[in-house]
Amino acid sequence: MPTIRAAREDDDLATLGTIEREAARLFAPWGLDVLFGSATTPVAILDEARREQRLLLAVDHQDRPIGFALLSRVDWHGHLDELDVHPDHGQRGVGRALVEASIEWARARGLTRLTLATMRDVPFNGPWYLRLGFRELDEREIGPGMRTIFQRELAGGYPVERRVFLARDLV
């Protein structure tokens, strides 16, 4: 089982871009690898998240990152902005461990829900999160922050008709 910990000042955050790019290749069968792999999260954003304790790392036995979760607050809830696991470490519980740590991150801040936007039709996205206890948000539950995410994704060329907003209630 991987170790999940908060990112530290001495972590090389640039390595997370490699993880993000490699994970994006898994989307090729759904025609999404170019879109998702075209840009990675800028190191400046990762560094800000590290300083604000919103960046969780999954590390191997040598303390090298093999996955990460980038978190924020959206509409008064915890929000999972990004979760990536290097494919060499896939199917070993790393993603699940990052989700569970993200839930604990939200709970520790008194937040009662963890939300995310994901692909409805990709087995290791929407269906996977549903198996982890997430549920689809209905229209009335989507707040202004989530709507902003939707508009940003629309402008960025995401196939928004395939996107879904999910939540896991933490109370």
The predicted structure's pLDDT at residue 157: 79
Residue 135 has pLDDT above 80, yes or no: yes
Instruction: Provide the H-helix boundaries in the chain.
Output: 15-24, 33-37, 43-51, 94-108, 126-131, 144-155
- pTM reported for the whole predicted model: 0.93
Q: 125 or 1, which is more confident?
A: 125
Total of domains in the chain: 1
What's the mean pLDDT when you consider all of the chain? 92
Tell me the per-residue pLDDT of 145-170, one tens digit each, with 9 for 90 and over.
999 998 988 887 788 788 899 999 99
CATH number at residue 14: 3.40.630.30
Tell me the per-residue pLDDT of 44-88, one tens digit each, with 9 for 90 and over.
999 999 999 999 999 999 999 999 999 999 999 999 999 999 999
Is the alpha carbon torsion for 30, 124, 120, 114 positive or negative?
negative
From CA 102, how far away is CA 97, in angstroms rounded? 9
Residues 6 or more apart whose CB falls under 8 angstroms from that of 1 comprise 93, 97
64 torsion bin: left (phi>0), alpha (psi -120 to 50), beta (else): beta
From CA 134, how far away is CA 124, in angstroms rounded? 13
3-state secondary structure of 153: helix
Q: 46: closest CA among 18, 71, 19?
A: 71
Domain that holds residue 165: 3-169
Residue with tokens 């590390």: 59
